[in-house]
Structure 1
Amino acid sequence: MVESLEAQFRFNLELLIPLVAFAATLIAGWFFDQIVGRGLRWFDRRSGQRIGGMLAEALQGKILTAFMLFGAWIAITTLFTTPGVTRFIGILITLLAVATFTLLAAQLATGFVNLSVGSGTVTSTSILNNVLRAIILTIGVVTAMSVMGIPINPLLGVIAGSSVGITLALQQPLTNLFAGIMLLATNKIEPGDYIRLASGEEGYVTDIQWHTTFIQLLTDNIIAVPNATIVSVILTNFDEPQKEMMIITGFAVRIESDLEYVEQVTIDVGREVMQQVAGGVSDFTPLVRYTGVQDYTVTYNVILRVQDFNSQFPVRHEFIKRLLHRYAQVGITPAFPVRGVFGYQLDGVAAQPFGPRELAPSYPEEQ
């Protein structure tokens, strides 16, 4: 009876110790996970950096998982002493550890890329993150195959032998993939840039993926352009080398106008618009450049400066309204179409020439 109780107690103790060890590692893992996460976020608040938050997000749950796997390995190897079972459990836990660290590496890699984007050193695109994830996933798969004892050399031989066929079958996708990588390497365009293609499409670049670049039109529609097309086509990037840009608006006044006065009034209105309208560059002095004389009018361009491509529309809208209103106040008459018309009036026998006459429906005809 006593021996039976001792055996039962010994069995319960052998079962309890691994379970207690597993529970202890779980508690320690949870505690350590919380401490590390809060410490990294506290570092962010103190330093004003973002790296702590990125690391905390990537490590969240991974520390607990690592402790859990370690505790499970201790508990199982203590409970089971059979070599076959121990080896199987060891391989399983190792595979789970490889998967955990592969996921952690992928999150850290993409996190550092996003931090670099925030500092303006790298382009934030899906293709870059996807390429990094694919590389890390490949390393993880190769590691898992090695853990399971699967030879890699035959697989590499098959891939090498069929490389020509694979290349031909994937020629178009690979072309677009490498074109996307080239876009990143050359910084030709970045997400957020406003571009115009030679074919006429224009809009904001929203993303560069492994095959396609997505452009959002001003109408909020999305067009997808293959990366190879973006690389080979002539395009205008309105955000390079800087987002600020000049806008030119054409006007015309009657030829008898005081051009010095017209220029001064126009510059005053332009300066007012630059300082008061959102999107204008407040310290920029507008320019007036007369361009020609034709049809009894003097044509000229007014040059303003805006903060980005989209700002040109409200700035030009407000400038035209204010300028025409100021012209009306100070007596400057914008030009209307004028044509020289020559004819003859018969008065008895003599023929008398007349003209030119102004052809403008909004003004009364000359008598």
Structure 2
Amino acid sequence: MSEKFKITITTTLTLVEQFQSTLSSSQTNAGQRPNPSTNEQNKDLDPLALLSASATALKSHVTKLSLLTLTSPFTASAVATTLSTLNASVLPSLVTAALLVTPDSHTAAFQSEIRVLTNTALKELFFLVREIQAVAEAKASKKSLDQSEKDTVTLAAGRVWDACDVVIDVATKGVVGFVVRRAEEYRDLVRDAVEEIEEWDPDEDGDEFFDELLDDDNEDRPTSGDSDDDDEDSEEAAAALRARKKDTLRVLKPIAQIYPAIITNRLKLVPVPLVPSDVKVLESLMRNLQQIPEHIDEVAGALYEEDLQKYTSQVGKTKDCASRAINLVVLPWAAKQSSGDQETVGDKFTTWSKTWIKVMGEVSKSIDKT
């Protein structure tokens, strides 16, 4: 191997590690405000367009690197030239674009996603370059590679491609595509939880084997009268659970309906580029949409455990999150910038939300009394 090749490939590996460290430390300090001078210098850049272009360029260079590595004779100078381009422009552009995605401009959740995905692409690139380095060392002592060595390089290149494809997809769809996807994930979790509660049978008997063991170990067998009382108590308890299950579903089904309504009428219509006020609304909205399935899981657990206090508390938290989510986007995005009356600037979702609030008030009365 030539000295230039050794220096270039070492530089690439060092740069990738440094860039990974930069992205990780930036993610840790995500709450800090970026340097105003840096913002001024890059104010005209579209970070997502730059990110997509850089990831596409990385894919192209990875293809070239893999072909140069696997094609005999191994030409160290050609590999070094491709790596030099990566070092000088492609990698700095990729990382710069990722760093320009900030909580103020794209939401904290989207920033985190971009950092993680970019870091993944860099990690896979690091493994590929290490494989190329190993091939160069192997070819210095033998003329050709065996199939397993070729497969290792091909697989490493494929992983970089896959990582870049994910970056390109998220960057192309932008914040709107990201929040829609997340909201759909939360929607599916809610649907699954509601279906699980629907399928739960409060009358279902316990494990008969263990019940029999407990009966056999019980020396103080109940009298016939005691047994009748126990049966009556059990029936009352089962009836109460059935009623509670019914009340729960009456509350949870309207809550599940807010997801498709918000996705269709608000999230898919988010104006871009985002203004700071809309970013704050999205942050709060997504937080509440995320917490709803978490609270519903707790509701289900409290039902199964017959913990009335926990059950009532978690249903209340679920309703509160759903109500906050609705209220955050009750008006169209454009109307949030105006001082008009809600009656004049609202739309069909505004009307629907009012109906939803009334319905929630009615269906939750029995639980509220509890």
- TM-score of the two chains, using structure 1 as the length reference: 0.31
Return the structure number with greater helix share: 2
If each structure's strand is expressed as a fraction of its own residues, which one has the higher value?
1
